[in-house]
Amino acid sequence: MEKISRTKIVDLLKRVDFGAMVNVKGWVRTRRGSKQVNFIALNDGSTINNVQIVVDLASFDEELLKKITTGACISVNGKLTESVGSGQKNEIHAVDIEVLGVCDNTYPLQKKGHTLEFLREIAHLRPRTNTFGAVFRIRHNMAIAIHSFFHEKGFFYFHTPIITGSDCEGAGQMFQVTTKNLYDLKKDENGSIIYDDDFFGKQASLTVSGQLEGELAATALGAIYTFGPTFRAENSNTPRHLAEFWMIEPEVAFNDIVDNMDLAEEFIKYCVLWALEHCADDIKFLNDMFDKGLIERLQSVLKEAFVRLPYTEGVKILEEAVAKGHKFEFPVYWGVDLASEHERYLVEEHFKRPVILTDYPKEIKAFYMKQNEDGKTVRAMDVLFPKIGEIIGGSEREADYDKLLARIDELNIPMKDMWWYLDTRKFGTCPHSGFGLGFERLLLFVTGMANIRDVIPFPRTPHNAEF
C-alpha cells in the first residue's frame, strides 16, 4: 500500500480539496450496501462523526472484503470526493484498503443500543462507543478549561502529595498505604499495629484532599490550585460517589468567603461555557441521545447569578416545604447534614438555579473552617447544582492560631500530625479561602450523564476495581 500521511477524521471532514489522495485509519462502525458498492462508516476517535468510505466491490479482493467487519481496524487510501448524500460534505472513494486488525463476531459492540450498565462491564471497550467517546473527549476538554482558567488568572498549579500522613477532612475514610506483611502484623502491648518498620516509618494513607498542603502553598505563592486524584474509602454506593475521584482545589491568600464564592461561580461558568464552545458536537449528541434538556440547562447556568443563602435560611425553606406536605426520605432540621434530595429541592424546585449555601453548623464541617461569632456556625460554602446536589465544597479558613488549636483539641485531632499545618498560623498568618470541585461531578453536569461511573474511564467503587 502506498504510504500517504494519515489525516485524522476530525480534520478530514472539513476538507473540500476534492480529488486529493488521502489516508485515514480507524475502526469500522458499520458496513452496508449492495452487491456493487459498499459504504463503510469509519471512526478514529478524533470526533464523534464518522467518515464514509465508498468501496466499489469489483475493484477489491473478496478475501480482503470479508475481513472488513464491525470493529475491525483498517487503513484506507482513497480519493476525497464531494458527498452527494446528506450529512457530510465529503467522503472517500477507496483505492486501497489494508486490514490492520481483524475483529471476529465475538466483539461485544456489534449491535447498537447496549445499556450503560452493560457497557460498564466492558469498560475496556466502551470508549469505542459514540457515548463514551463523547464523554471522554469532553473530560479532556474540561481538564484543559480548568488549567486555562487558573493560568489566565495567575494561579500556580501546585502538586500536593498523593501519599500522606494526615486526614484533611477528618472523616477517617482513608485507604492505607503499607508494605507490611499483612499476615504477620507486629503489635504493641495495647494491640496497636507498630509502624516503625513500615515503609514510611509511620501510618500512611492515600490523600482525601490536597487542601492542607494547598494552604501552605497559598500562604507563599498567593494563589494556587491543585488538580489530582483523591481517594475516599466511604462505603457509599450512590450515583455521585467514587472511591477514586479527581478534585480541583484552588486556595487563595487574602480571599474572604465572598471572594471565594465569586471565584467558584466564575470558575464553573467558565468551564460550562468552554464545554459549549469546544465540545458542541459531543454535547449535541448526548443531548439528543440521553438528556433532551442538557444544552438548555448548560445555557441557563451561564445566564443567572447563583443564589447565595445561609444554611439556616435553607433549612427554613425545607421545613416550610415539609409543612406544606412535601415528602423527603430523610428528616430536615437545623444541624442536619443535608441530603442530596434536600439540596436538589432548593436548586430544582425552590430557586430553579444554582445555590451557594453558607455558614453551616460547625459540627457537620471540617476543623479548619473559620468560626463565626455566633459560636455555632462556620464560614463554609457548598455550591449546589441541578441534578447533582453538591458540586463544590469550600470555606474561608480559620486563620487564628488559638481558635484553630482549640478546635483541633475539641475534635481530638492528633496534634503531632498537624504541626506543620499550624506553622502557617504561627508565621505570618493571613486570611485565606479555598474550595474543592469534584471533577466527575462537574462532568456529570456537563455531559448530562446520570451515574458518576460513566464519566470516569475506570470507576473505583465499593467491591469494584476491575480493569
Residue 355 interacts with, from ligand 4AD, Mg ion, none (CB under 5-8 Å by kind): none
Edge-to-edge strand list for the sheet holding 377-385: 156-157, 223-231, 244-253, 432-438, 389-396, 377-385, 355-361, 307-310
Per CB under 6 A, the list member of 126, 137, 139, 232 interacting with ligand 4AD is 232
- Stated as kind and residue range, the H or E segment containing 283 is helix 280-289
Instruction: Decide if 175 contacts 233 (C-beta within 8 A).
Output: yes
Instruction: Decide if 204 contacts 167 (C-beta within 8 A).
Output: no
Site string for ligand 4AD, 13-32 (x = CB under 6 A): --------------------
Specify which residues 55 forms β-bridges with: 38
Does residue 393 belong to the site contacting Mg ion (CB under 5 A)? Answer: yes
Q: Which is nearer to ligand 4AD, 137 or 432 (CB)?
A: 432
> ∠ CA(161), CA(385), CA(304), 5° rounding?
120
Between β-strands 307-310 and 355-361, what pairing exists: parallel, antiparallel or unpaired?
parallel
Instruction: Supply the minimum distance, in Å, between the C-beta of residue 172 and ligand 4AD.
Output: 13
Question: CB-based contacts of 286: which residues, under 8 Å, 6+ apart?
Answer: 131, 134, 135, 294, 447, 448, 449
Per CB under 6 A, the list member of 166, 209, 260, 371 interacting with ligand 4AD is 209
- Stated as kind and residue range, the H or E segment containing 52 is strand 51-56
Q: Which is nearer to ligand 4AD, 91 or 241 (CB)?
A: 241
Instruction: Decide if 229 contacts 245 (C-beta within 8 A).
Output: yes
Per CB under 6 A, the list member of 136, 227, 245, 351 interacting with ligand 4AD is 245
Q: Which is nearer to ligand 4AD, 13 or 168 (CB)?
A: 168
Q: Which is nearer to Mg ion, 44 or 215 (CB)?
A: 215
How many chain residues interact with ligand 4AD (CB under 6 A)? Answer: 22
- Please name which of 457, 458, 461, 462 lies closest in space to residue 140, comparing C-alpha atoms: 457
Instruction: Supply the minimum distance, in Å, between the C-beta of residue 390 and Mg ion.
Output: 6
Instruction: Decide if 129 contacts 285 (C-beta within 8 A).
Output: no
Which of 100-108, 140-148, 346-354, 393-401 is the region at the interface with Mg ion (rule: CB under 5 A)? 393-401
How many chain residues interact with Mg ion (CB under 5 A)? Answer: 1
Between β-strands 156-157 and 176-177, what pairing exists: parallel, antiparallel or unpaired?
unpaired
Instruction: Decide if 254 contacts 430 (C-beta within 8 A).
Output: yes
Instruction: Supply the minimum distance, in Å, between the C-beta of residue 393 and Mg ion.
Output: 3
Instruction: Supply the minimum distance, in Å, between the C-beta of residue 338 and ligand 4AD.
Output: 12
Instruction: Supply the minimum distance, in Å, between the C-beta of residue 290 and ligand 4AD.
Output: 20
- Count CB-CB contacts under 10 A for residue 327: 7
Instruction: Supply the minimum distance, in Å, between the C-beta of residue 252 and Mg ion.
Output: 19
Instruction: Supply the minimum distance, in Å, between the C-beta of residue 243 and ligand 4AD.
Output: 7
C-alpha cell at 452: 458518576
The residues in 345-404 that bind ligand 4AD, with binding defined as CB under 6 A, are: 390-394
Q: Which is nearer to Mg ion, 214 or 393 (CB)?
A: 393
Q: Which is nearer to ligand 4AD, 28 or 369 (CB)?
A: 369
Residue 242 interacts with, from ligand 4AD, Mg ion, none (CB under 5-8 Å by kind): ligand 4AD
Instruction: Decide if 140 contacts 282 (C-beta within 8 A).
Output: no
Q: Which is nearer to ligand 4AD, 59 or 236 (CB)?
A: 236
Per CB under 6 A, the list member of 97, 134, 217, 247 interacting with ligand 4AD is 247
Instruction: Supply the minimum distance, in Å, between the C-beta of residue 24 and ligand 4AD.
Output: 38
C-alpha cell at 171: 472523616
Residue 441 interacts with, from ligand 4AD, Mg ion, none (CB under 5-8 Å by kind): ligand 4AD
- Stated as kind and residue range, the H or E segment containing 300 is helix 294-303
Q: Which is nearer to ligand 4AD, 45 or 165 (CB)?
A: 165
Phi-psi region at 85: left, alpha or beta (left = phi > 0; alpha = psi -120 to 50): beta
> ∠ CA(316), CA(321), CA(324), 5° rounding?
125
Q: Which is nearer to ligand 4AD, 28 or 247 (CB)?
A: 247
- Which residue's CB atom is positioned nearest to Mg ion? 393
**d(C-alpha 12, C-alpha 2), whole Å:** 19
Instruction: Decide if 80 contacts 23 (C-beta within 8 A).
Output: no
Per CB under 6 A, the list member of 40, 53, 146, 242 interacting with ligand 4AD is 242
Q: Which is nearer to ligand 4AD, 176 or 237 (CB)?
A: 237
Q: Sign (positive/negative) of CA torsion 365, 367, 368, 369? A: positive
The residues in 433-452 that bind ligand 4AD, with binding defined as CB under 6 A, are: 434-436, 438, 440-441
Between β-strands 432-438 and 223-231, what pairing exists: parallel, antiparallel or unpaired?
unpaired
Q: Which is nearer to ligand 4AD, 9 or 217 (CB)?
A: 217
Coil, strand or helix at 21: strand
Q: Where do we find the cell 500512611? A: 204
Site string for ligand 4AD, 135-174 (x = CB under 6 A): ---------------------------------xx-----
C-alpha cell at 187: 503489635
Footprint of ligand 4AD on this chain (CB under 6 A)? 168-169, 209, 211, 232, 234, 241-242, 245, 247, 249, 390-394, 434-436, 438, 440-441
State the residues that interact with Mg ion by CB under 5 A.
393
